């Protein structure tokens, strides 16, 4: 029996585009330690790849990202995990190349931090989003650094306090995604966006992106340790532990 761990993030480059594909079907592309580690490595590889001008982030399967891996969260250091999510958002924001997210299916909780940290997000109109932390006695702490600045204040209050599902079309109206399109047009629109971005000169793309994300990066650097500590405190609370145990039990039944 092989002890080789399956790769969860695939890397490919073609025609100036580096594509990173999340492929962790056993936990619906949850942000496990392995997936996040491979995603960080893939982004670093794309940043240094002379064959890549633009980065596309996509997912295999029906779910884009189900958020934190609660099975891991129940038994590990959440402060370290939250700091890693902060680091992932920072890497997306500071990458020298534009990051485009092709978003289909469901994205939940921590996965929305990836969406918010990307430069351009094209979502299927029927994609579904939810900041579900509130249902588990948690708060969207680590991802608040990018998610809240993208959303209007009213949309932030509704989605974060309610924890309810909203669609790709609503996400576009809230400011979370760039554009929402019919599912059967998703690939064509992503291709169109990428074709435009790939014509940019590397220096122009790098310096323009740095200008666009300067305030977000400064906000993230200033508040990262604070929100990581908050995340750890909430995950370690009895209320959250009870809610997560009940949630995991329902998933198994």
Please tell me the pTM assigned to this model: 0.94
In a domain, 219, yes or no: no
Residue 65 has pLDDT above 80, yes or no: yes
44: its two tokens = 């670093």
Q: At what angle do helices 202-235 and 238-252 cross, to 10 degrees?
A: 100
In a domain, 172, yes or no: yes
Number of structural domains the chain divides into: 1
Residues 114/57, Cβ–Cβ less than 8 Å: yes
In a domain, 119, yes or no: yes
The pairing of beta strand 128-130 with beta strand 166-167: antiparallel
In a domain, 191, yes or no: no
> Which tops the pLDDT comparison, 71 or 133?
133
* Residue 103 structural domain: 9-184
> At residue 100, what are phi and psi to the nearest 5 degrees?
-110, 130
In a domain, 20, yes or no: yes
In a domain, 252, yes or no: no
In a domain, 169, yes or no: yes
Question: What CATH number is given to the structural domain containing 96?
Answer: 3.90.226.10
- 4 — pLDDT class (breaks 50, 70, 90): low
**Region class of 122: left (phi > 0), else alpha (psi between -120 and 50), else beta:** beta
In a domain, 220, yes or no: no
Residue 2: what pLDDT? 45
């Amino acid at each position: 029996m092989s002890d080789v761990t399956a790769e969860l993030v695939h890397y490919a480059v073609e025609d100036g585009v580096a594509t990173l594909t999340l492929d962790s079907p056993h936990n619906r592309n949850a942000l496990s330690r392995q997936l996040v580690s491979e995603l960080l490595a893939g982004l670093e590889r794309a940043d240094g790849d002379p064959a890549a001008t633009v980065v596309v982030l996509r997912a295999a399967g029906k779910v884009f990202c189900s958020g934190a891996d609660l099975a891991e969260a129940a038994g590990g250091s959440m402060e370290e995990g939250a700091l890693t999510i902060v680091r992932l958002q920072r890497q997306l924001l500071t990458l020298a190349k534009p990051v485009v997210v092709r978003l289909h299916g469901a994205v939940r909780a921590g996965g929305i931090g990836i969406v918010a940290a990307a430069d351009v997000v094209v979502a299927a109109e029927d994609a579904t989003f939810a900041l579900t932390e509130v249902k588990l006695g948690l708060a969207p702490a680590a991802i608040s650094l990018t998610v809240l600045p993208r959303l209007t204040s009213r949309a932030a209050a509704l989605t974060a306090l309610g924890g309810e599902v909203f669609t790709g079309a609503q996400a576009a109206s809230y400011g979370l995604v760039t554009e929402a399109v019919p599912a059967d047009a998703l690939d064509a629109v992503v291709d169109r966006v990428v074709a435009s971005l790939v014509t940019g000169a590397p220096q122009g793309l790098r310096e323009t992106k740095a200008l666009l994300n300067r305030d977000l990066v400064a906000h993230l650097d200033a508040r990262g340790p604070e929100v990581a500590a908050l995340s750890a405190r909430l995950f370690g609370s009895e209320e959250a532990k009870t809610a997560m145990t009940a949630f995991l039990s329902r998933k198994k039944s």
